[in-house]
Amino acid sequence: MKLSSIGEFGLIEKFKKGILFAQRSVIVGIGDDAAVLKISKESKYQLFTTDMLIEGVHFDLSYTSPFQLGWKALSINISDIAAMGGIPTFALVSLGLKKDAPVKFVEDIYQGIKRVAKRFSVDIVGGDTVSSSRLTINISLLGEVERKNLILRRGAKPGDSIFVTGTLGDSAVGLAFLKRANHPLSITQKTIRAHLTPLPRLKEARALAQTQKVSSMIDVSDGLSSDLIRIAEASKVGVKIYADKIPLSFASKKGSKLLKKEPLDFALYGGEDYELLFTVPKSQAGKLSSQFTKKVKTHLLLIGEIIPPEEGYQLLNYKGRTIRLKAGGYNHFSRGSVTDNTLYEEKLK
Ligand code: ADP
Ligand code: MG
């Protein structure tokens, strides 16, 4: 059997099966944005996550600077800690470097990491440096969360409202432009920034966690459809979202038009937005919104609701027809990123 037949998530499921925990302190192991560990009798949990970026798979040096790379590598790890409701603390940075890489280039990667570390008060306490035929950056990050503020993927219940911060699809639009040599910067700048130098929604995540009303949360790394389905699977529920409620930025709409593609496609299947996708019991939704906006200016948008598991995954399209929401987005070992119109149109039929 080849990896391509089971895909990234099938593979992780296989790994998970053989793993038994010798430590009683593992509260959540494989399967959420970060592991949750009970390391002391304090009222806090330790969070632990890692992410790897590899040249040719996650980035292309023809349009990514080393500074941006370092920035993104740490940002996406912080995003996973944020998605648990926690704050990041300590990082290990491991680099696989080509032998002929200029020292300045590597220093620039580190400058990007340091910039984000400073911004979010993360301490870099170690790592590993090896030679590699492909540039590789792996960051492991610890974090912590008050036990009462921990938010997992698995707490969504039928009737809950589904919310998202910010706008979706910008990063994928930016990537599409980066892959083209010529693009009008006046229109594409915002989306390209979203792709190359994303910022984790840490402040927002903390404000949400502190309301203690959020029933489940994930950060959007693979695309709205895939990540929402991961909440649904973990919570054993169905989901229904409305196409006309999905937040699309002006930049993404304009950019998509230039690319002759649907901005909704980028939002559903694009990924790497690092926005927060979360659920709240309907009766609490209004109160949560007002509590949140008192602390943070970021927009929260209600995009759908959790439904019973037997009703499956639904998308109410622009024509008012309910169709099946399928996981798109990036899956290592399977087909690449699904950001083409054909799939979307297929759904609309
Ligand atoms: P995210 O997109 O939030 O970073 P991933 O899709 O990378 O999440 O991973 C999903 C879950 O699977 C996480 O809990 C992660 O720790 C776990 N996981 C991924 N790869 C491995 C692996 N090789 N061994 C054990 N666990 C893994
Ligand atoms: Mg995540």
* 338 pLDDT above the threshold of 50: no
- What would the DSSP string read from start to end of 254-317? HHHHHHTS-HHHHHHHT-----EEEEE-HHHHHHHHHHHHHH--S-EEEEEEEE-GGG-EEEE-
Q: Can you tell me the mean pLDDT for 17-24?
A: 83
pTM, two decimal places = 0.92
CB of 21 closer than 6 A to ligand 1? no
Taking the C-alpha atoms of residue 36 and residue 144, their distance in angstroms, rounded to an integer, is 9
Question: CB-side exposure of 99: number of CA atoms within 13 Å?
Answer: 1
In a 3-state reduction of DSSP, which class is residue 105? helix
pLDDT digits (tens, 9 = 90+) for 43-72: 999 999 999 999 999 999 999 999 999 999
Neighbours of 226 (CB within 10 A): 23
In a 3-state reduction of DSSP, which class is residue 96? strand
CB of 30 closer than 6 A to ligand 1? yes
Is the separation of the CB atoms in 32 and 84 below 8 Å?
yes
Nearest alpha carbon, ligand 1 atom 26: 30
CB of 305 closer than 6 A to ligand 1? no
- For 166, the token pair is 């910010």
- Tokens 């973990």 map to which residue? 234
Is the separation of the CB atoms in 143 and 104 below 8 Å?
no
pLDDT at 164: 98
Nearest alpha carbon, ligand 1 atom 6: 9
* 190 pLDDT above the threshold of 90: yes
pLDDT at 104: 96
What separation in Å is there between the alpha carbon of 226 and the centre of ligand 1?
14
Q: Which long-range contacts (CB under 8 A, 24 or more apart) does 109-112 make?
A: 109/66, 109/67, 109/69, 109/70, 109/73, 109/137, 110/70, 111/67, 111/70, 112/66, 112/67, 112/68, 112/69, 112/70, 112/71, 112/72, 112/73, 112/74
Taking the C-alpha atoms of residue 118 and residue 11, their distance in angstroms, rounded to an integer, is 35
Neighbours of 13 (CB within 10 A): 13
pLDDT band at 138 (very low <50, low <70, confident <90, very high): very high
Nearest alpha carbon, ligand 1 atom 2: 221
